[in-house]
Amino acid sequence: MDVKDKVIVVTGGGNGMGREVVLGLLARGARVAAVDLSEAGLAETAELAKAPEGRLTTHALDVTDRKAVLAFPAAVIKIHGQVDGLVNVAGIIQKFVKIAELSFEEIERVMNVNFWGVVNMTKAFLPHLLERPAASVVNVSSMGGFLPVPGQATYGASKAAVKLFTEALYAESQGTNLAVTVVFPGGVGTNITANSGVDIPNLGDVEQGKARKVVSPADAGRQIIEGLEKGSYRVLIGSDAKAMDKLSRLMPRRATELIAKQMKSLLG
């Protein structure tokens, strides 16, 4: 889809990859409705964008608030006149603990944001997108959505749910105007840890000496936009995601054990 003059809704637009998607879409001539829980983050995005009047609107919205989300498309259409695409980037990680130590409250919090947030936004906008000549839904899963990461069981489960939800939407959308893309980032240099209110002990031990290669948020945002433009089925971001995607399909047990070994120090 050519994004020029299209109206794209982007969640997580107040920081990280979501912010870079907003900025990248604006640079390509799109109009953007940026969504985030943080008004301050959205204000920073708007300041960085310096977009001409009417090209960018910012919306403080909790994607887990279904009533508010279901009312949101009408607000976007009232302002922009249409909606052509939805990019669900917003997400959080869990506390870095084993399942036995993970509270039900933490499990529900992560699932509500990462999975139900995507479901709420997709369900809200889908009827409007299907009315457009060409439209797109892009949902960000994670490398953790196809490869189990110790200490991130619920995060991985939420992202696996996003993966299958998006792939099912793709299958159901054959023969329609709707392109559906699922994105699997590996290591990306974002603030997801701080934004999730999570402290990861011993993280430096994992990163030190291994020169853990991470993709910049700007590069990740660019790849997400390119996936939207091409109508890609899947987008794998980073050499780690690409390598582990292959290994997890060819040797799933070996891939699981490899990740477990690498992450062992984070769990004590």
155 included as an active-site residue:
yes
| Spatial distance between the Cα atoms of 106 and 113, rounded to a whole number of angstroms | 11
3-state secondary structure 43-75: HHHHHHHCCCCCCEEEEECCCCCHHHHHHHHHH
Who's near 159: CB < 8 A, 6+ residues apart? 91, 114, 141, 142, 144, 145
Which residue among 155, 198, 235, 237 is the active-site one?
155
Is there a contact between 191 and 132 (Cβ–Cβ < 8 Å)?
Answer: no
Q: What angle do CA 64, 69, 71 make, to 5 degrees?
A: 155
Is there a contact between 57 and 72 (Cβ–Cβ < 8 Å)?
Answer: no
| Spatial distance between the Cα atoms of 15 and 191, rounded to a whole number of angstroms | 8
Is there a contact between 59 and 46 (Cβ–Cβ < 8 Å)?
Answer: no
Closest CA to 10 of 91, 116, 109: 91
To which residue do tokens 């489960």 refer? 157
Rounded to the nearest 5°, which phi and psi values hold at 188?
A: -125, 135
Instruction: Output Rg (C-alpha) for the chain, integer angstroms.
Output: 18
- The sign of the torsion formed by the CA atoms of 220, 174, 245, 142 equals positive
The catalytic residues are: 155
